[in-house]
Homo-oligomer: A and B are copies of this chain.
Amino acid sequence: MEFIDERTQDGVTRRSFSVTVAGERVPAVIWAPAGARGPRPLVLMGHGGSQHKKTPGISARAAIYARKFGYATLAIDAPGHGDRVSREAAEAVARDTLARVTGQVASGWTPERLKLMAERTASAVPEWNAALAAAVGFDFVGSDGPVGYWGVSMGTAIGVPFVAQAPRITAAVFGLAGLRPGAAEFEAAAQQITIPVEFVFQWDDAVATREQGVALFDAFGSVQKTMHINPGGHMDIPDYEGASWERFFTRHLGVAAAAVEHAAAAE
């Protein structure tokens, strides 16, 4: 692990570091309450296609989780994303992704695209493992605390195979993805997942059909799993689903002891 820098804003400290996996430097970032000491729940957040580890949704949620629950939040750049590609390449991916998720072009699971995604996932799983191992080495996280995963769209495409082989993770939010016919490895990974899952799905998503979404929900091996369906497209998850994720994680991961003390002191 290579430590890069840290900055503190509004009571939350963000530390940047990197791990190296198979010769690739993987940029990572971890948020925690400023001055955090001792173990606390950790949430891993996997960004969507064309996004990056500090994408606004993740940054905002990480700060809120730190302030409200005392959580640490870890994010990494997926292969071919964020600081791992040039700005020009990232912008080209963003244009392509926007066209697909808004249905301007057919989602087009071409063989080339499926191959690219399979390679990306194959790289991303050990990268997440390495980043998680580094994160639990921070004294403000610790190696015994509960760990959750959040990731929709590409964050699910990568997250399902990752979570399936990560016994430390005890609760996961997935969504905006489906099970395509013939995606046998992905289906097998979903079946191996037995932890509580909240699966958020948009009923008019250009990226996955309703049937594919329901098929992925059905594939999860979890006894406790809930699918939340809302009308609208890939970018239209209602705000109240974000509030639901907070309750899902606090239900399963608890809150940091320090967060309880802090809340009591504030009353």
How many residues from A make CB contacts under 8 Å with B?
A: 19
Q: Which residues of B contact A228 (CB under 8 A)?
A: 226-228
User: Please, which residues of chain B bring their CB within 8 A of the CB of A243?
Assistant: 247
Among A234-265, those with CB < 8 Å from B are: 238, 240, 243-244, 247, 251
Which residue, A223, A231, A238, has most C-beta atoms of chain B within 10 A? Answer: A231
Within 8 A of B (CB), among A163-212: 210
> How many copies of the chain does the oligomer comprise?
2
Q: Is A217 within 8 A of B229, CB to CB?
A: yes
Point out the residues of chain B lying under 8 angstroms from A247, CB to CB: 240, 243, 247
In the bound complex, what is the Cα–Cα distance between A95 and B74 (angstroms)?
53
Interface of A is mostly: mixed
Shortest beta-carbon distance from A127 to chain B in Å:
32
Q: Is the CB of B231 within 8 A of A229?
A: no
Cβ A229 vs Cβ B226 within 8 A: yes
Please measure, in the bound complex, the distance between the C-alpha atom of A229 and the C-alpha atom of B230, giving whole angstroms: 12
Point out the residues of chain B lying under 8 angstroms from A223, CB to CB. Answer: 231
Name which residue of chain B comes closest to A243, CB basis.
Answer: B247
**A267, CB-defined interface residue at 8 Å:** yes
CA A31 to CA B214, docked complex, whole Å: 39
> Taking CB as reference atom, which chain B residue is nearest A241?
B226
* Closest CB in chain B relative to A103 CB, distance in Å: 19
Q: Is A225 an interface residue (CB 8 A)?
A: yes
Nearest CB in chain B: distance from A242 CB, A: 12
A107 contacts B by Cβ under 8 Å: no
A8 touches B (CB below 8 Å): no
Question: A224: CB under 8 A from chain B?
Answer: yes
Bound state CA distance, A227 and B201, in angstroms?
10
**Docked CA distance A231–B244 (Å):** 18
Interchain CB contact (< 8 A) of A244 among B210, B227, B244: B244
Let me know if B226 and A227 touch, CB within 8 A.
no
| Chain A interfacial positions (CB closer than 8 Å to B) | 210, 214, 217, 223-231, 238, 240, 243-244, 247, 251, 267
23 CB < 8 A contacts A-B = A210-B214, A217-B229, A223-B231, A224-B231, A224-B238, A225-B230, A225-B231, A226-B228, A226-B229, A226-B230, A226-B238, A226-B240, A227-B227, A227-B228, A227-B229, A228-B228, A229-B229, A240-B247, A240-B251, A243-B247, A244-B244, A247-B247, A267-B267
